[in-house]
Structure 1
Amino acid sequence: MMASGRSATLYLGVTNDLVRRVWQHRNGFGGEFSSRYGCRHLVWFEAYDDLQEARQRELRMKKWKREWKLRLIEDGNPGWRDLFDDIVA
């Protein structure tokens, strides 16, 4: 999940290459929505071995209330740190 800042605009997506995709978002190549709203910070992610399972999770989460997404981020990343450095290390 990408965010423009703490409790700000959220972008939820799925990819088979998280490092590449986050780099794209951070550098303005993430797509129209994320570029328009400045969703450049990786604040939460889950890893899956099965891409279909990841897509199903994405579709379910896109139906979630915003409050639930915020709670998920707060539980795993209370400081809303940009997790990009964690995934490239």
Structure 2
Amino acid sequence: MQYYVYILTNKSNKVLYTGMTNNLIRRTYEHKNNLVEGFTKKYNVNKLVYYDITNDVNAAIAREKQIKGWNRQKKIDLITEFNPEWKDLYYEICK
């Protein structure tokens, strides 16, 4: 099974949310359609700008915790290196 660590943002790229899932398409869909109660729904965080894939659930959990512990600039640098235009990657992963 594959596990994904991902970062979502809002339309203006001001809010960052880091999460982990075993189904990135489903989870991003849930965020986009406000099916997830809490932070992402409250701040309209639904644009997928970064993801990482691993087959090891423990590695995914550790990576999520690592990224969540970073300051904002380090997260921005990670996203920019992976996705320079900060495009919404949801439609690419759905192909």
The TM-score normalised by the length of structure 1 is 0.94
Count of residues in correspondence between the two structures? 89
Write out the 4+ residue segments of structure 1 that deviate beyond 2 Å after TM superposition: none
Structure 2 unaligned regions, length at least 5: 1-6
Selected match of 1:5 from 8, 11, 17:
11
Deviation, structure 1 residue 16: 0.6
Structure 1 unaligned regions, length at least 5: none
Structure 1 or 2: larger helix share? 1
Change (3 A) 1:6 1:79: farther
Selected match of 1:49 from 45, 51, 55:
55
| Alignment root-mean-square deviation, CA | 1.0
Query: In 2, Cα distance between the equivalents of 1:83 and 1:30?
Result: 19
Deviating more after overlay: 73-82 vs 5-14: 5-14
The TM-score normalised by the length of structure 2 is 0.89
Deviation, structure 1 residue 5: 2.8
